Structure 1
Amino acid sequence: MPSARPAASIRRHLQATSLLAVLAGYVVLLLVNRQLSARLRHERHAAQVQETTRLLQELLPEQTDTIGELRRHLADLASPSLLVWMVWLEPDRPASAPVILPSGAAFQEFHVGHALVRAADAALKADGMPREFRFNGRTYFTCAMSVRLAGRSYQLRFLQDFTLETEQEQLISLLLVAVAGASALFTSALLRLVIHRGLLPLDLFSATLASISTRSLSTERLSLKGQPAELHPIAYAFNDLLDRLAKAWEHQRTFVNGVSHELRTPITLISGYSRRLLRRAEGLNPEQRQQLELVASEAESMGRLVNDLLEIARDDAGRLQLECSQLDPATLLEELHRRLQDTTNGRLLLQPLPSSYADVCADPERLSQCLTNLVENAIKYSPAPQPIELALSSDADQVVLHVRDQGVGVPAEEREQIFGRFVRGSGSGDTSGHGIGLAVVKTLMERMGGSVVVGDAPGGGADFQLRLPAVLSTPVEERFSRSPSLRRWFSPG
Structure 2
Amino acid sequence: MAVASIRRHLQATSLLAVLAGYVVLLLVNRQLSARLRQDRHDAQVRATTQLLQGLLPEEIDSTAELRRHLSDLASPSLLVWMIWLEPDRQGPGPAILPSGAAFRQFHSGHALLRAADAVVPADGMPREFRFDGRTYFTCSMPLRLAGKPYQLRFLQDFTLETEQERLISLLLVAVAGASALFTSALMRLVIHRGLLPLDAFSATLAGISALSLSTERLSLEGQPSELHPIAQAFNDLLDRLAEAWEHQRTFVNGVSHELRTPITLISGYSRRLLRRADQLDQQQQKQLELVASESESMGRLVNDLLEIARDDAGRLQLESQQLDPAVLLEELFVRLRPTSDGRLQLQPIPSGYPGVSADPERLSQCLTNLVENALKYSPASQPIELALSSDADQVVLHVRDHGAGVPAAERDKIFGRFVRGSGSADTSGHGIGLAVVKTLMERMGGSVRVGDAPGGGADFQLCLPAIPEPPVSSRPSLRRWLSPGLS
Say whether the fold is shared (TM-score over 0.5): yes
- Residues 352 and 471, structure 2, Cα contact 8 Å, conserved in 1: no
CA contact (8 A) 2:83 2:92 kept: no
Q: What is the correspondence of 1:264-343 to structure 2 with a 5 Å cutoff? A: 264-343=260-339
Whole-Å separation in 2 of the counterparts to 1:209 and 1:28: 44
Q: Is the 8 A contact 2:449 2:462 kept in 1?
A: yes
**CA–CA separation in structure 1 for the residues paired with 2:454 and 2:59:** 120
**1:61 matched residue in structure 2:** 57
Is the aligned partner of 1:184 residue 2:164?
no
Distance verdict in 2 for CA 1:33–1:409, change over 3 Å = farther
The size of the alignment, in residue pairs, is 478
SS at match of 2:464: strand
Worse overlay, 165-174 or 351-360: 351-360
What amino acid does structure 2 have at the position aligned with 1:302? M
Cα distance in 2 for residues equivalent to 1:257 and 1:173 = 78
Aligned to 2:382: 386
- Offset of 1:469 from its aligned partner? 0.8
Taking the aligned partners of 1:68 and 1:442, their CA distance within structure 2 comes to 115
1:445 maps to what in 2? 441
**Offset, 1:137:** 2.4
Matched, 1:396 2:392: yes
Distance (Å, rounded) in 1 between the aligned partners of 2:399 and 2:216: 39
The residue that corresponds to 1:373 in the other structure is 369
Distance 1:471 1:320 in 2: 23
Separation of aligned partners in 2, 1:96 and 1:155: 9
Q: Residues 13 and 426 (structure 1 numbering): CA distance in 2 closer, same or farther, change over 3 Å?
A: farther
For residue 125 of structure 1, report the CA deviation from its aligned partner: 1.3
**1:142-157 counterparts in 2 under 5 A?**
142-157=138-153
Backbone CA RMSD of aligned residues: 2.1
Residue 475 of structure 1 deviates from its aligned partner by: 5.4
The equivalent of 2:485 in structure 1 is: none
1:427, CA displacement in angstroms?
Answer: 3.4
CA distance in 1, matches of 2:99, 2:406: 104
Q: What secondary structure sits across from 1:342 in the alignment?
A: helix
For 2:173 and 2:92, the matched residues in 1 are separated by: 50
Distance 1:95 1:377, change over 3 A: same
Q: 1:141 to 1:457 in 2, by over 3 A?
A: farther
Contact kept, 8 Å, 2:399 with 2:460, in 1: the verdict is yes
Taking the TM superposition and a 5 Å limit, the aligned residue runs for 1:19-418 are 19-418=15-414
* Residue type of the alignment partner of 2:294: E
Give the drift of 1:429. 2.3
Residue by residue, what CA displacement relative to the aligned partner does 1:407-433 show, whole Å, maximum 9, x if unpaired?
A: 443344433332222222333323322
Deviates more, 1:396-405 or 1:46-55: 396-405
Q: Which amino acid aligns with 1:117?
A: L
Change (3 A) 1:443 1:144: same
| TM-score normalised by structure 2 residue count | 0.92
Give the superposition deviation at 1:306.
Answer: 0.4
Structure 2: distance between partners of 1:287 and 1:420: 38
* Residue identity in the other structure for 2:210: T
Q: What letter corresponds to residue 363 of structure 1 in structure 2?
A: D
Q: Distance in 1 between matches of 2:120 and 2:314?
A: 93
For 2:360, give the aligned amino acid: P
**Partner of 1:356: helix, strand, or coil?**
coil
Cα offset for 1:260? 0.7
Change (3 A) 1:155 1:382: farther
How big is each residue's C-alpha offset from its partner over 1:288-331, in whole Å with a ceiling of 9 and x where there is no partner? Answer: 22222221211111111100000011111111111111112222
TM normalised by structure 1 equals 0.91
Residues 1:461 and 2:454 are matched in the alignment: no
Residue ranges of structure 2 left out of the alignment (5+ in a row): 479-487
Q: Following the alignment from structure 2 to structure 1, what is the Cα–Cα distance between the partners of residues 403 and 118?
A: 95
State the Cα deviation string for residues 78-123 of structure 1 (Å, max 9, x = none): 2222222222111211324222222233223222222222222222
Letter in 2 for 1:38: A
Change (3 A) 1:263 1:194: same
Corresponding position: 1:10 with 2:6: yes
- Residues 226-266 of structure 1 deviation map (CA, whole Å, 9 limit, x = unaligned): 22222222222222222222222222111111111111111
Shift of 1:43: 0.9
SS in 2 for 1:402: strand
> How big is the shift at 1:220?
2.0
Structure 1: stretches of 5+ with no match in the other structure = 485-493
Identity %: 82
Partner Cα distance (1:92, 1:43) in 2: 36
In 1, are the aligned partners of 2:418 and 2:430 still within 8 Å (CA)? yes
Q: For residues 142 and 404 of structure 2, what CA distance do their matches in structure 1 show?
A: 103
Match of 1:146, SS state, is: strand
Structure 2 match to 1:480: 475
List per-residue Cα deviations over 1:139-185 (Å, max 9, x = no partner): 22111111111111111111212121111111111111111111112
Can you list the C-alpha shifts for 1:389-447, whole angstroms capped at 9, x where unaligned? 33322111111222233344334443333222222233332332212111111110111
Question: How far apart are the structure 1 equivalents of 2:46 and 2:137?
Answer: 14
Check 1:457–1:100 CA distance in 2 against 1; reply closer, same or farther (3 A cut): farther
Letter in 1 for 2:148: R
The ranges of structure 1 where at least 4 consecutive aligned residues each deviate by more than 6 angstroms after the TM superposition are: none
Q: Helix, strand or coil: the match of 2:83? A: strand
Q: Please state whether the residue corresponding to 1:366 is helix, strand or coil.
A: helix
CA distance in 1, matches of 2:426, 2:447: 28
Distance 2:344 2:304 in 1: 23
Say whether the 8 Å CA contact 2:354–2:471 is kept in structure 1: no
